[in-house]
Chain A
């Protein structure tokens, strides 16, 4: 059974810092990995999707990398802003059968002004 873990569980940083969120998964047979953002009590917004054949994806100040063989992904946020405060979830899809999203435990990020 696929298990997805995110470290740290919570992170508090001052505005302007660059930061890295970590995601690890136990079964490397994945189809793709996706990073989401969730604001308190709200739905999920997709940030980046990395196919298993890719090493990284970038969108604005966000950069996600994938090391499939070691079961790891990182989300790099450059020049953090208070508006980045949210919970960040990574999710993986297996590469066979019905490819449901298996979510990680999340990292709660607080960026203070």
Chain B
């Protein structure tokens, strides 16, 4: 299984809602990533987890809260988002072995398209 799955595919939420995005992989990868991609823009890194611990936070606002409950699962909890947070949220994973894992090939999921009203 070389697939990264993301649910839901689409999400519409109000600014006062709390929702969560889910990402799952069963490739035995120990590094997982969240990216944000605005329309017609390149993806931008948000968070990196290595062995279920937060390794990188690219100065993301606290209304985005990542969680890695186990080695196969990565969540992104959303609360009090703004309309400008509407974007495609991509999850990726890589083998995550060793200190140089950041240079590994990453496998991307199909993304969750989020609309904040």
What's the Cα separation between A23 and B22 when bound, in Å?
A: 33
Interface residue? B21 (CB, 8 A):
no
Q: How far is the CA of A101 from the CA of B48 in the complex (A)?
A: 12
> Could you tell me if B111 and A46 are in contact, using CB atoms closer than 8 angstroms?
no
Q: Are the C-beta atoms of B42 and A99 separated by less than 8 Å?
A: no
Docked-complex contact A89 and B103, CB < 8 angstroms: no
Residues on the A chain within 8 Å of B105, using CB: 34, 46, 49
Across the interface, which residues of B come within 8 angstroms of A32, CB to CB? Answer: 103
Asked whether any CB of chain B lies closer than 8 Å to the CB of A45, the reply is yes
CB distance from B67 to the nearest CB of A (A): 20
What total of A-B pairs shows CB separation below 8 Å? 55
The total of chain B residues at the interface (CB under 8 A) is 26
A44: Cβ under 8 A from any B Cβ? yes
Q: Contact at A42–B102, with CB atoms within 8 Å?
A: no
A89 CA / B48 CA spacing, docked (Å): 21
A25 in the interface, Cβ–Cβ < 8 Å?
no
Known: A98-B56, A99-B102, A99-B103. Is A43-B111 also a contact (CB below 8 A)? yes
Q: What B residues does A42 contact at CB under 8 A?
A: 110-111
| A100 sits at the interface (CB 8 A) | yes
CA distance A43 to B6 in the complex (A): 10
Task: Report the bound CA distance from A77 to B102 in whole Å.
Answer: 28
Asked if B109 and A89 make an inter-chain contact with CB atoms under 8 angstroms apart, the answer reads: no
Given A41-B111, A43-B90, CB of A104 within 8 Å of CB of B42: yes
Does more than half of chain A's interface fall in helix, strand or loop, or is it mixed? strand
User: Within 8 Å of chain A (Cβ to Cβ): is B108?
Assistant: yes
Closest to A6 in B: B42
Known: A44-B43, A44-B90. A93 touches B111 (CB 8 A): no
Contact with A along B11-42 (1 / 0, CB 8 A): 00000000000000000000000000000111
Considering the chains assembled together, what is the distance between the CA atoms of A43 and B23 in angstroms? 13
Q: How far is the CB of B103 from chain A (nearest CB, A)?
A: 5
Contacts known (A32-B103, A98-B102, A99-B102); A43 close to B42, Cβ less than 8 A: no
Restricting to B37-89, which residues have a CB under 8 Å from any CB of A?
A: 40-45, 48, 55-56, 58, 88
Cβ contact within 8 Å between B45 and A43: no
